[in-house]
Structure 1
Amino acid sequence: MTDFITIDVLILGAGGGGYPAAFFLACAGLHVVMVDPIGNLGGDCLAEGCVPSKAVREGALARVMSRKYKFFGLDGTMPAVDWQGVLAHKDLVQNARYAQHTKEIAGSTMVFHKGIGRITGEHTATIAVDGGTPLNYRFRYLIAATGSRPHILPIPGAELAITSHHLFRLGADLPMPARLAVIGGGYIGAESASMLDHLGVKTTILEATGELMPGADPDLRTYLTRCLGRRVDLICDALVTGITQGAGGLRLSYRRDGQDLTLEADAVLMATGRESVRPEGIGATGLSGSGAIMVDATMRSAIDHVYAPGDINGRSMLFHSAVRQSMVAAHNILAGGQPVDRLTHPLIT
């Protein structure tokens, strides 16, 4: 017979969709357990997204500031790029934030596990604790906040491409490419291309639609397309069909205006969006389907005791959206599942 530890709330994922709710509910006196394979807070935002990318961007902007020297009566040369130094700065920023989070975890009544949770029943889960004995929990509420991962185009040679994970992860050791091809002109592709161009990389963006940032405000799309198109090679209406390894690097094939064309690069960055990741065994709760979990305005899924804030629901795959959604879920759990606070209402934090 399996022995279960009974708790109020199990939270799978310690990113923006998970940890705000965890601390809030623990402070309210609930017995909260949170599980994350990274072993710290921040999710992909800190591990390989917003934080490290902005650290690299900071270095890129500092370098190209020299282009404006003449406007201030200054003179000088543009600094050379120490790519390993840029990555070391990124790691320093990430580790500083992780150290802060470690103290926050230690100061909370929440129980935190480094590991992977698997749902085994409607109200039960097994936690494969990193380096420890598996633990079995029985919970009243589940917050599924397992986030998202880079979407990979189903094209031949996709495995030859890198993603934001390889570029920005802690301890990234990719060599600096002289020529970079970016597949996708969304916010990840556009930002990465912009910062690497500032660091001296010859960059090309291939976007399947007619402008950068599809889905964003039309004026913003037009403005970014015009401005970034002055600095990098921008190829719109390009359908990428494959990647192959050549003698001089990678060859990217694409179709545009009815023609089959190719592009040579040292590295190809796959920046074609992100896809939701469901917890292992989530179907055991009674939640059917695959991909993003549909939720209402309170972040509750089709199963009354299961909430899914953050990237997992696909509504707004941004860190600050996840934080807001996490707090919405927490408020509704405190209300016993009654829909008291929704995305359209202000919250007490």
Structure 2
Amino acid sequence: MERYDLVVIGAGPGGYEAALEAAGLGLRTALIERRQLGGTCLNRGCIPTKALAHAAGLYAELSACGRFGLSAEQLRCDPAALAAYRQSTVETLRGGIALRLKQKKVDLFQGSGLVTAPHRVRVEPPQGGALELEAQNILVAAGAKPAVPPIPGAQLPGVMTSDELLEWGGPPFGTLLVIGGGVIGVEFASIYAALGSRVVILEALDGLLANLDRELGQSLKLLFKKRGVQVHTGARVEALEPAGEKGRLCCRYTEKGVPAECGADAVLLAVGRTPCGLGAFAPGVAPASEKGRLLVNSAFATSLPGVYAIGDAIGGAQLAHLATAQGLAVVRALAGKAPGLRLDVVPACVYTEPEIASVGLSADEAKARGLAVQSKKYPMSANGRSVLTGQERGFIKVVYDPAGRAVLGAQLMCARATDLVGEFGLAIANGLTVEQMAAAIRPHPTFSEGISEVLRSC
């Protein structure tokens, strides 16, 4: 039986980065993955989605290049070439992970990993021939899968989760119906609208991106409306049915209590993701759980001795970078080192057009906690780089303590928001004040000048 200091189940961002860190700290490490290296993020989530978003953004920009004095003829979307670009991006990054694991001497096992007892893991390769590993510690990073709601007709042809939609190799749909107005739903809506599809979003809650500052969702809804995307909030789906035309679908729903229906060529189910952590345990061995998510303490330890869990498997914010940070924290603790990361300062990013990002507290969240805060907003319509690149509605908002002047949060909706938000995360993690952030000179003309402007207004 092979013996390891750490066995990691799941090679997504949380798992493979933890394995690399552990090996770098001198721990003999094994990594088990039943599908492809990189997990959901690389193969069925973050990377392929953002590759499509990049391509769709270029398509939309070229379609409107006349405003810059340019012209483009015979512009079209080549579905096969688009799929090839997406796949080559994934394979390039997957190869990079494999090389890093080899360089760090992490033992990689292909197959399903099952915890059979404390300190015991069975690997079940797809070709058969199970083997047993002994581990001083086990880290479960099994991720999550798309949730399929109990809607009549959810299994009909043409009804897809994000996994199936990413594998779609055909042309953009005439009409795409998106059920769910969270991050996954609005990202795919933005992509397909840019590629020329008619997009309809049905969201059961009162607004888009309900987990973020409400102004972000409100502004995105206005932009979607301008681009022809129909957004229905307070909409509850009753059933999906075949429509009269071959291959078409009909969705029956109620919007604020009023019955309605919508026809579509395809339907995306984007109502969240279900944790897969329990699938990493043999029958009768699973630790404490709740609604499918593994329960852990502040050190990410489960109720089984020596077994830890991170990422989507434990619920909470389902973000690749958070899973990575949690995995690094576990490994560094096992090696007797400080975490090195602030796990309470986690940026959230949405890759629509324009991008959306948030970190720290919103003004509403701060007030709900009884904190006295102030917020200031700078409209990016006054930013030189935004004007010359033809950006639409956008802003940068900062939330701060009026007494001590510490930066407490920020919400951004503008070009490169997902890059700019890192400045605010750094400030919050280090307790910087508005004045300390504002002391830096930011180059002109850049989107980052918007940060200086909003800070100077505080």
Q: Is the 8 A contact 2:36 2:43 kept in 1?
A: no
In structure 2, the residue corresponding to 1:269 is in which secondary structure? strand
Greater relative contact order (CA < 8 Å, ≥ 6 in sequence): 1
User: What one-letter code is carried by the residue in structure 2 that aligns with 1:98?
Assistant: R
Instruction: Return the alpha-carbon distance in structure 2 between the equivalents of residues 287 and 330 of structure 1.
Output: 20
After superposition, residues 209-224 of structure 1 pair within 5 angstroms as 209-224=205-220
Q: CA deviation at 1:286?
A: 5.7
Q: CA deviation at 1:130?
A: 3.0
After superposition, residues 5-16 of structure 1 pair within 5 angstroms as 5-16=2-13
Counterpart check, 1:37 vs 2:26: no
Equivalence for 1:267 = 266
Instruction: Return the alpha-carbon distance in structure 2 between the equivalents of residues 60 and 176 of structure 1.
Output: 11
Equivalence for 2:161 = 163
List per-residue Cα deviations over 1:132-185 (Å, max 9, x = no partner).
Answer: 52111121111010001111111111112201101224xx43553211100001
- Across the two proteins, how many residue pairs are aligned to each other? 339
User: What one-letter code is carried by the residue in structure 2 that aligns with 1:164?
Assistant: S
User: What one-letter code is carried by the residue in structure 2 that aligns with 1:211?
Assistant: G
Instruction: Return the alpha-carbon distance in structure 2 between the equivalents of residues 33 and 297 of structure 1.
Output: 24
Equivalence for 2:414 = none
User: What one-letter code is carried by the residue in structure 2 that aligns with 1:288?
Assistant: A
Q: CA deviation at 1:76?
A: 3.4
Q: Is the 8 A contact 2:118 2:304 kept in 1?
A: no
191, 194, 202: which is aligned to 1:195? 191
Q: Is the 8 A contact 1:251 1:264 kept in 2?
A: yes
Q: CA deviation at 1:229?
A: 2.6
Instruction: Return the alpha-carbon distance in structure 2 between the equivalents of residues 258 and 69 of structure 1.
Output: 43
Query: Which structure 2 residue ranges, 5 or more long, are not aligned?
Result: 346-428, 430-458
Q: CA deviation at 1:223?
A: 1.3
* Rg larger for: 2
User: What one-letter code is carried by the residue in structure 2 that aligns with 1:10?
Assistant: V
130, 134, 144: which is aligned to 1:134? 130
Equivalence for 2:281 = 281
Q: CA deviation at 1:6?
A: 2.2
State the percentage of identical aligned residues. Answer: 29
User: What one-letter code is carried by the residue in structure 2 that aligns with 1:312?
Assistant: A
Equivalence for 2:94 = 98
233, 237, 248: which is aligned to 1:236? 233
Q: Is the 8 A contact 1:21 1:330 kept in 2?
A: yes
Larger mean CA deviation between 119-128 and 144-153 belongs to 119-128
Instruction: Return the alpha-carbon distance in structure 1 between the equivalents of residues 325 and 305 of structure 2.
Output: 20
Change (3 A) 1:132 1:102: farther
Counterpart check, 1:26 vs 2:23: yes
Q: CA deviation at 1:342?
A: 6.8
In structure 2, the residue corresponding to 1:120 is in which secondary structure? strand
User: What one-letter code is carried by the residue in structure 2 that aligns with 1:135?
Assistant: L
Q: CA deviation at 1:283?
A: 6.6
After superposition, residues 319-334 of structure 1 pair within 5 angstroms as 319-334=320-335
In structure 2, the residue corresponding to 1:18 is in which secondary structure? helix
Counterpart check, 1:297 vs 2:298: yes
List per-residue Cα deviations over 1:218-256 (Å, max 9, x = no partner).
Answer: 221221122123220111111011111223211111112
Change (3 A) 1:325 1:262: same
Q: Post-superposition, which runs of at least 4 consecutive aligned residues in structure 1 deviate over 6 A?
A: 338-342
